[in-house]
């Protein structure tokens, strides 16, 4: 149980003002192996999840996109190609090590000119109201301390007619899949973290943070509470991942 002064860090209750630092330690630890572990953990399926999310985002040439919790830039790289030279992608992460990895990757791929980099806490987005045509956050919302505040901030900086897209691990459909997923998450995932990234604890936190994240309907309700309209979600891989979408009308 949590109160206004505490929050979840995986299955642990911690002081609200401690969570950001703890999450930063996790991503400082895994940054250099982040892409490799994503491929191993999902058996490459994360690329299909992200491709579908990009389609839902509906990005057009010349638009301005804010990608929160960009990590190493999987979505931002796709958006940079879609908005073209007249558009802009603002690639952000709260964690400096992750943002640096993303910047290196974008430079290696020659994606310069229409991409900017900013260290951003999603709870306090440092941009004016009505600034972006699309705002995305992929596999990052569950690590945010105050998710409702972050969603309200996304709504604030979104232009009328724009959309917010949240791609996140969610809750599997059906008991057999849940049981298999639990075995994978709490047995195999930490073991892979230990063998590949030399960091079992961070990947145990990953599994726990997924379980503590709001389910599909709850997150949809939170987006509506933030002021977004026509909210919907699309389950992928049996609900293991869901793409939520909402509009500012």
Q: Which residues are annotated as a binding site?
A: 72, 93, 121-122
Distance CA 139, CA 194 (A): 21
Sign of CA dihedral 200, 202, 204, 207: negative
Residues annotated in a binding site for S-adenosyl-L-methionine? 72, 93, 121-122
Q: How many CB atoms lie within 10 A of CB 161?
A: 10
Burial 57-91 (b: 16+ CB within 10 A, else e): bebeeebbbbbbbbbbbbbbbbbbebbeeebbbbb
Q: How many CB atoms lie within 10 A of CB 44?
A: 10
Answer whether 234's CB lies under 8 Å from 210's CB. Answer: no
């Amino acid at each position: 149980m949590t109160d206004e002064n505490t929050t979840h860090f995986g299955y642990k209750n911690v002081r609200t003002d401690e969570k950001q630092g703890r999450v930063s330690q996790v991503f400082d630890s895994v940054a250099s192996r982040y892409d490799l572990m994503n491929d191993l953990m999902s058996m490459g399926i994360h690329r299909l999840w992200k491709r579908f999310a990009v389609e839902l985002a509906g990005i057009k040439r010349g638009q301005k996109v804010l990608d929160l919790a960009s990590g190493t830039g999987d979505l931002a790289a796709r958006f940079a190609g879609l908005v073209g030279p007249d558009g802009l992608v603002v690639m952000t992460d709260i964690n400096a090590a992750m943002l640096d990895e993303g910047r290196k990757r974008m430079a290696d791929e020659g994606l310069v000119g229409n991409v900017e980099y900013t260290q951003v806490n999603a709870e306090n987005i440092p941009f004016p109201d009505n600034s972006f045509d699309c705002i995305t956050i992929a596999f990052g919302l569950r690590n945010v301390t105050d998710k409702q505040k972050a969603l309200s901030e996304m709504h604030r900086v979104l232009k009328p007619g724009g959309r917010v897209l949240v791609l996140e691990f969610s809750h599997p459909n059906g008991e057999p899949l849940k049981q298999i997923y639990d075995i994978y998450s709490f047995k195999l995932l930490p073991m892979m973290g230990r063998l590949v990234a030399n960091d079992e604890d961070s990947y145990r936190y990953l599994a726990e943070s997924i379980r503590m994240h709001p389910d599909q309907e709850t997150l949809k309700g939170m987006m509506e509470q933030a002021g977004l309209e026509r909210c919907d979600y699309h389950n992928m891989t049996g609900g293991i991942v869901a793409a939520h979408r909402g509009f500012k009308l």
